[in-house]
Amino acid sequence: MTQIINVAYLVASVLFILGIKGLSHPRTAVRGNLYGAVGMLVAMVATLADRQVIGSGPQALGILAGGLALGALIGATLALKVQMTAMPQMVALLNGFGGGASVLVAGGALIDTANPTTQMSVATVASGIIGGVTFWGSLVAFDKLQEMLLPGRPIVFPGQQIVNALLGLVALGLGAVVVADPTATWAFWALVVVASVAGILLTIPIGGADMPVAIALLNSYSGLAAAATGFVLSNTVLIITGSLVGASGLILTQIMCRAMNRSLWNVLSGAIGPAGKAASADDVYGGRVKSTSAEEIAMLLDGARRIVIVPGYGLAVSQAQHSVRELTKLLESRGSEVEFAIHPVAGRMPGHMNVLLAEADIDYDKLKEMDEINPTFEQTDVAIVLGANDVVNPLARTDPASPIAGMPILNVDKAKTVVVIKRSLSPGFAGIPNPLFAADNTLMFFADGKQAVTDLIAAVKEA
């Protein structure tokens, strides 16, 4: 029987690998996700057949069935109800549950095993630390994105790094106690508490535009926690799957950091460079900002051959994606070419803008990556910036002293005319003014994103 179960685990592992491979191409993504789900089903059915589970008596089986049913109910409700604009929170929350489960499994195994091997106790410690950080880190990320208890901005306090380092040392010390004496389960739970505090403290300094990095990294952690739990149980399917997810999360993290030209350490410490040297808002804007109206923009759009829309987090906040689609259709029906310029870190998680625009039924062929669309701005008649700020700030190219110096940006300032839809001149996450707003070829349309697009649609129809 054990052989059959192990073969089933092997089949599940292969399905997971095919699943993740499938998820990396648009044409195979749906199938990839299904492979993953089937793999999970195979692994779960095989586990049910394990003598330890099937022979555990009606009571334990009842608890098991109840847990599965409750979890499935909550998971399905979340997945079917969640709005696409709330996807970053959703991903953070799911990550947290995965990490939390790993800790509990490792803790349970520590209690149940009479004479654990060193491999097992070390892995239990690793699982406790990584899982604790993942669970609480994800909950904090969820909260910050939802802006429930904590503000979305970074929270930093003096000595933060020292406190984190101390927590790390205490966790390792407690870990050493567990390894030396595996019956000391108190040390394990104390370690989980310390890791939890560390998870909270590590996530609060990350805010706003840095969230994509945090989400990708927590994703990686949840995989590593599962892998560590695999070492606890000497279970290969857990190890294989956990390391696949750990690796994929790390790659995404790396892509996000590169898109901001910042090191992972820099993002994690919440340290976006000193803005002290930057010019003040008055110096940059003083009397040079031109405000415009929907009617004026409609006239501009009327003769435009090529229009590029640059969405940012503001699009998600104002839920403007459906109006944007309507505007796109309207402009296309009048003979303009419309494309979207997507910055890799626009929004609050990797790929956030793509999901929103896809929800609004916008063909994904129109969503262009930064490197592909940047050379085309010079042939663009109108660039419409909708709720993006730092990712279109030309200071990144021109001012080496700026906190965003060297960050790859969308070169919208090269377009003939730039229309910026924004509620006010308030700075973006980097906290610096944006000279684009005062440029000669820029018009500012001060309004809520969705309202602005709706007004534009009406104005274009009348023009």
Partner 1 sequence: MDFVGILTVFMLALFVGFELIAKIPPLLHTPLMSGSNAISGITVIGAMLSVASPNRFSTALGFIAIVFATINVVGGFLVTHRMLGMFKKRD
* Span 172-211, contacts to partner 1 by CB under 8 A: none
Total residues interacting with partner 1, rule: CB under 8 A: 112
Q: Give the nearer residue to partner 1 in terms of CB position, either 105 or 133.
A: 105
Q: Give the nearer residue to partner 1 in terms of CB position, either 227 or 395.
A: 227
* Span 343-372, contacts to partner 1 by CB under 8 A: 344, 349-352, 354-355, 358-359, 361, 363-365, 367, 369
Q: How far apart are CA 397 and CA 374, in angstroms?
A: 13
| Distance of closest approach, residue 119 Cβ to partner 1, in angstroms | 5
Element (H, E) at 162: helix 160-180
Which residue is associated with the tokens 């003939």? Answer: 416
Active-site residue flag, 390: yes
Identify whether the C-beta of residue 295 lies closer than 8 Å to the C-beta of residue 445. Answer: no
x/- mask, partner 1, residues 239-278, rule CB under 8 A, reads xxxxxxxxxxxxxx--x-----------------------
Q: What backbone torsions phi and psi does residue 404 show, to the nearest 5 degrees?
A: -105, 15
Residue 461 structure tokens: 């129809």
| Distance of closest approach, residue 112 Cβ to partner 1, in angstroms | 5
User: DSSP states of 260-306 as a string?
Assistant: TT--HHHHHTT-----TTSPPHHHHHTTTPPB--HHHHHHHHHT-SE
| Distance of closest approach, residue 59 Cβ to partner 1, in angstroms | 9
Q: Give the nearer residue to partner 1 in terms of CB position, either 109 or 193.
A: 109
* Span 9-28, contacts to partner 1 by CB under 8 A: 16-17, 19-21, 23-26
Identify whether the C-beta of residue 446 lies closer than 8 Å to the C-beta of residue 419. Answer: no
| Distance of closest approach, residue 193 Cβ to partner 1, in angstroms | 15
Instruction: Give the list of residues 6+ apart from residue 63 with CB closer than 8 angstroms, or none.
Output: none
Q: What backbone torsions phi and psi does residue 119 show, to the nearest 5 degrees?
A: -55, -45
* Span 120-179, contacts to partner 1 by CB under 8 A: none
Q: In what order do the strands lie in the sheet with 306-311?
A: 367-369, 337-342, 306-311, 382-386, 417-422, 442-446
Q: Kindly report the CA angle at 288 between 287 and 293, in degrees rounded to 5?
A: 105
Q: How far apart are CA 172 and CA 161, in angstroms?
A: 17
* Span 77-116, contacts to partner 1 by CB under 8 A: 78-80, 82, 84, 87, 90-91, 94-95, 97-98, 100-102, 104-105, 107-109, 111-112
Position 338 contacts partner 1 (CB under 8 A): no
| Distance of closest approach, residue 19 Cβ to partner 1, in angstroms | 7
Amino acid at 430: A
x/- mask, partner 1, residues 55-74, rule CB under 8 A, reads xx---x--xx-xxx-xxx-x
Q: Residue 319's closest CA among 386, 366, 385?
A: 386
Segment interacting with partner 1 (CB under 8 A) among 233-241, 261-269, 399-407, 441-449: 233-241
* Span 285-304, contacts to partner 1 by CB under 8 A: none
In 10 A of CB 56, how many CB atoms? 13
Catalytic residue chosen out of the listed positions 112, 361, 381, 390: 390
x/- mask, partner 1, residues 430-449, rule CB under 8 A, reads --------------------
Radius of gyration of the chain (CA): 25
DSSP SS3 for 342: strand
DSSP SS3 for 369: strand
| Distance of closest approach, residue 212 Cβ to partner 1, in angstroms | 8
Segment interacting with partner 1 (CB under 8 A) among 225-233, 308-316, 414-422, 427-435: 225-233
DSSP SS3 for 52: helix
* Span 28-47, contacts to partner 1 by CB under 8 A: 29-30, 32-34, 36-37, 39-40, 43-44, 47
| Distance of closest approach, residue 284 Cβ to partner 1, in angstroms | 30
- Which residues have a catalytic role annotated? 390
